[in-house]
Amino acid sequence: MNLKDALPKRSHSRRLKDELKLIRGRVKCQLQQKPRSLKIFVLGTGRSGTHWLGDIMSAHPSIAATVEKPPAFTWVVELAMQPEKMDELFPKLVRRYRYEHADVEPRHFLDKSHPSLWIADAIAEAFPEAMFVAIRRDVFGTVNSMLQHEGVMRWIHGWTSFPLPNRFLGITPETAEAYAALPLEGKCAVRWKAHMQQLDRLGKILGPRLLELSYDNLQTDTAAQLERIANFLELGTALPLPNIKRRSLARWREELTATQQSNIEAAVERFPVDSQDGSRLLEPAGAASAAVAR
């Protein structure tokens, strides 16, 4: 399976509109010295609430968002799965974010491309104005949602098509045989585990530039969590209250069988995911950042 086959496609009219917007952003970027507002990045694993979180924040009048928008999303996914492409793709991504942001200034620019979890340290290095909001969801709820999402499962079913090591899915050449033997829910749990370990690592690197939220708390204590986000980003005014579907908190208890729950638990506890697998090579990434021209 080709990586791009698993990604969303844009219509011709949508591509044309995006290109015109990008040209406008490029011109604005050349005219300004530095951004006057924030670049905000939503981090997490698929089916953990990243899309919902992006929608919540983009409802604020001072925030303009892109959601899994090609080609930036395509590059983010490629970099998450193939970090050796950092020097080739990261400068393009940085320029794209600069132009997208310049086009919406003075509003903040938000991008919801959750695989940027794997390059967040490089993004932070490239953009001093970047802030990161991450969301965690328990493994059972996440995996149950993964199993019902065709797009997410395409990565799992097609894992042999991608080079190893694959930090995005949590596989190394040494663990590939054991991974192949896992049931689907176990494979999904390994992806969740790899992403959570990377988020742990980012917490130490990004420090006060990273806000972590709990999916459960966002569902059950929404107003307080929205206040945390608004304070973190210094928005000045409150975020609008979103629609809440609390049934999603307990659905996994009804929909995952006892065997599936046991397999998920076993994968999280026993499958070896290298906690350093998500780390980037500092010299190449730094070189990529330095190579970016406005």
Please report, for the domain that includes residue 282, its CATH number.
3.40.50.300
Q: State the pLDDT at residue 3.
A: 61
Model pTM? 0.86
Residue 200 tokens, joined: 């742990």
Longest dimension (CA), the chain: 60
Residue 280 has a pLDDT of 33
pLDDT per residue as tens digits for the range 4-58: 555 556 566 666 666 766 666 666 666 666 778 999 999 999 999 999 999 999 9
Residue 110 belongs to what H/E stretch?
Answer: strand 108-112
For 28-84, give the DSSP string: HHHH-SS-SS-EEEEE--TTSSHHHHHHHHHTSTTEEEEES-TTHHHHHHHHHH-GG
Give the range of the structural domain holding residue 222, as residue numbers without chain letter: 3-291
Q: What does the pLDDT look like over 156-171, one tens digit per residue?
A: 999 999 999 999 999 9
Burial of 278-293, coded b for 16+ CB within 10 Å and e otherwise, reads bbbeeeebeebbeeee
DSSP 3-state of 63: strand
- The length of the chain in residues reads 294
| Distance from C-alpha of 47 to C-alpha of 266, rounded to nearest angstrom | 20
β partners of residue 212: 134
User: For residue 177, what pLDDT is reported?
Assistant: 98
Weakly modelled stretches of the chain, pLDDT under 70: 1-18, 20-33, 275-294
The total of structural domains in the chain comes to 1
Beta bridge partners of 132: 41, 210
